């Protein structure tokens, strides 16, 4: 061969990934009748890497979106911290709330009364959680005030309740109808505690997009809740919101000092620790399981290249005798395997990104096509399938796929470069 064919001969040093090596690698990747099985394995490897990358991106994005949506709804309705009385209700709650508002980073303090009740209608009965709040505080919760579908929160302090859409549908009630609440916190009589029963008109129906809340929450005025649950002049707790919910533990000590020794502080992380821990464990396990798809696809690259080296043994020997260096042969086979991984990785990246951006539309289309509900709100809590693409995680998935693809090509490429031309041509 001339120096024009092997430019590295001119300078005395090898030029990495030159035109000859790319030409040789691309020619080996083309499908021919004699090495058709190699092309099939290459296609399977490409599909495996593409689907592995896409699946990882989709699953991680859905789990990120699921956690974010749940967290926004849980914190949007329940606040970031709670101050509760030790062994009794908080009586001087306005004074305690004023002291807590003075803590740097606290954005709001809302007094509330919570209680479990049985709700009844002419059709059926169900359990629910009643939360008593001032009308102004309830309107300040954008998650509730911004998702009223029927009626209005205006005049809630004067009487009436706001209920979740699923609860109203289960009871067969709408705005203007009366809902009957039954609480075990009733009057004490010689025969025991008599349940407290009250009928309240429905002023508003809200839909938060989280099935558990829509099916169980009832809001009423703070004064009515205190009378109904017999807390008298006190409240059950003070709901606190801060600037940065992720740093909630840093606020525990200053809020506890401001609240005084008669109160205990509970954070949203403590209330939902088991729930979000389970989500994190599931997320990590899914990542490990789905990574196996990429590993299997990488093994396909290894097997395909080894078969290619075995099939091209005579060609490699001829090239070596004509002046091709070990490095040139190794780089040519490295390009052959790595190109499958690179193209498959970026095809999977695009597929996963498109899927995530249109996931709710695709879910509805698949539900209509199969005639089944693929994302039941009763099971997954949310009324739609969320997806949140995290740039850092996507980058990590892409880099991991590229690393596995490159690593898979090293042994077959080294084996091709180590082939002895004399032994390969001896029986030709």
Q: What pLDDT does residue 367 have?
A: 75
Q: What pLDDT does residue 383 have?
A: 60
User: Confidence class of residue 127 from pLDDT cuts 50, 70 and 90?
Assistant: confident
pLDDT at 9 over 80: no
Helix (H) or strand (E) holding 101, with range, is helix 93-101
The mean pLDDT of 367-383, rounded to a whole number, is 64
Coil, strand or helix: which one is 46?
A: helix
For residue 154, count CB atoms less than 10 angstroms from its CB and return exposed for 0-12, middle for 13-18, buried for 19 or more.
Answer: exposed
Q: What pLDDT does residue 347 have?
A: 93
Listed range (290-299, 306-315, 405-414) with the worst mean pLDDT: 306-315
Helix (H) or strand (E) holding 127, with range, is strand 125-133
User: Confidence class of residue 426 from pLDDT cuts 50, 70 and 90?
Assistant: low
Coil, strand or helix: which one is 376?
A: coil
Task: Name residues whose C-beta falls within 8 Å of residue 143's C-beta, 6 or more positions apart in sequence.
Answer: 72, 73, 76, 77, 208
Residue 129 β-bridge partners: 116, 217
Helix (H) or strand (E) holding 355, with range, is helix 326-357
User: Confidence class of residue 373 from pLDDT cuts 50, 70 and 90?
Assistant: low
Residue 268 near residue 248, CB atoms below 8 Å: yes
The mean pLDDT of 296-312, rounded to a whole number, is 77
Residue extents of the structural domains in the chain:
15-70+276-421, 87-261
Listed range (125-129, 137-141, 186-190, 350-354) with the worst mean pLDDT: 186-190
Listed range (4-8, 52-56, 212-216) with the worst mean pLDDT: 4-8
Q: What pLDDT does residue 422 have?
A: 63
Tokens coding 356:
């995530």
Q: What pLDDT does residue 309 have?
A: 74
Counting residues of the chain whose pLDDT is more than 70, the rounded percentage is 85
Tokens coding 256:
């506890």
What's the CA gap between 153 and 354, in Å, rounded?
A: 40
Listed range (66-80, 138-152, 364-378, 398-412) with the worst mean pLDDT: 364-378
Listed range (20-29, 152-161, 268-277, 361-370) with the worst mean pLDDT: 20-29
Q: What pLDDT does residue 131 have?
A: 92
Residue 245 near residue 157, CB atoms below 8 Å: no
Task: Name residues whose C-beta falls within 8 Å of residue 9's C-beta, 6 or more positions apart in sequence.
Answer: 3, 323
pTM for the model stands at 0.69
């Amino acid at each position: 061969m001339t120096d024009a064919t092997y430019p590295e001969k001119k300078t005395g040093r090898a030029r990495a990934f030159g035109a000859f090596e790319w030409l040789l690698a691309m020619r080996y990747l083309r499908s021919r009748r004699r090495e058709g099985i190699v092309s099939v394995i290459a296609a399977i490897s490409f599909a495996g890497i593409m689907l592995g990358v896409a699946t990882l991106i989709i699953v991680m994005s859905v789990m990120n979106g699921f956690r974010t949506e749940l967290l926004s709804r849980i914190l949007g309705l329940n606040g970031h911290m709670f101050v509760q009385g030790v062994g009794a209700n908080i009586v001087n709650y306005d004074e305690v709330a004023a002291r807590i508002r003075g803590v740097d980073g606290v954005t709001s303090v809302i007094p509330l009364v919570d209680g479990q009740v049985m709700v009844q209608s002419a059709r059926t009965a169900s359990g629910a959680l009643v939360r008593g709040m001032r009308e102004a505080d309830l309107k300040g919760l954008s998650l509730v005030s911004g998702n009223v579908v029927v009626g209005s929160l205006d005049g809630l302090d004067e009487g009436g309740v706001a209920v979740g859409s699923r609860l109203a549908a289960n009871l067969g009630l709408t705005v203007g109808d009366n809902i009957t609440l039954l609480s075990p916190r009733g009057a004490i009589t010689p025969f025991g505690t008599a349940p407290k029963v009250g009928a309240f008109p429905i002023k508003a129906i809200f839909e938060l997009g989280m099935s558990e809340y829509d099916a169980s929450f009832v809001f009423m005025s703070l004064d009515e809740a205190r009378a109904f649950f017999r807390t008298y002049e006190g409240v059950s707790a003070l709901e606190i919101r801060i600037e940065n919910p992720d740093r909630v533990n840093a606020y525990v000590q200053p809020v506890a000092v401001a609240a005084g020794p008669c109160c205990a502080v509970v954070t949203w992380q403590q209330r939902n620790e088991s729930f979000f821990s389970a989500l994190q464990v599931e997320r990590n396990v899914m990542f490990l399981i789905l990574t196996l798809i990429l590993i299997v696809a990488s093994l396909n690259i290894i097997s395909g290249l080894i078969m290619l080296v075995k099939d091209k043994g005579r060609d490699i020997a001829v090239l070596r005798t004509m002046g091709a260096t070990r490095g040139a042969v190794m780089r040519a086979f490295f390009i052959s395997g790595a190109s499958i991984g690179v193209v498959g990785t970026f095809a999977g990246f695009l597929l996963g990104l498109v899927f995530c951006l249109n996931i709710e539309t695709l879910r509805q289309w698949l539900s209509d096509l199969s005639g089944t509900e693929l994302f039941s709100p009763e099971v997954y809590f949310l009324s739609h399938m969320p997806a949140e693409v995290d740039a850092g995680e996507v980058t990590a998935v892409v880099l991991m796929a590229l690393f596995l693809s490159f690593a898979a090509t090293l042994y077959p490429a080294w084996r091709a470069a180590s082939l002895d031309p004399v032994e390969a041509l001896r029986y030709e």
